[in-house]
Amino acid sequence: MATLSTHVLDTALGRPARGVRVELTTLDGAPLGEGTTDEDGRVGSIGPALLPPGDYVLTFGTGAYHAATGQEGFYPSVPITFTIGADEHFHVPLLLNPFGYSTYRGS
């Protein structure tokens, strides 16, 4: 079983993205957990403590975040689909700005 963490950084404002709603689901949409980023842009706990191998989706509520920070964003949400295939830690960060985003497998 694997563990999962995530965080969001606002590259337009140069700071962690506080208050972003994040949902974890299976690939077919079954809910596994949800949370909101803290002052450091991190979600303390999202979903089960341990995840079996499989495909998952983290969906970030970016539209509400942009509106709350006075930015006009292009993406109302950002879904990131990823595969867990090993018993290790998976970190999925989101680098966000109003007109783009990037992600990678972190450590």
What local confidence, expressed as pLDDT, does residue 7 receive? 96
What's the CA angle centered on 72, arms 99 and 39, to 5 degrees? 85
What local confidence, expressed as pLDDT, does residue 44 receive? 83
Contact 46, 33 (CB under 8 A): yes
Residues 6 or more apart whose Cβ sits within 8 Å of residue 103: 80, 92, 93, 94, 95
Residues 6 or more apart whose Cβ sits within 8 Å of residue 51: 1, 2, 3, 4, 32, 84, 90
DSSP alpha helix (H) spans, 1-107: 62-68
Pairing of strands 89-97, 3-10: parallel
Supply the pTM of this predicted model.
0.95
Q: Where are the domains of the chain?
A: 3-96
CATH class of 3-96: mainly beta
Q: Which residues of the chain have pLDDT under 50?
A: none
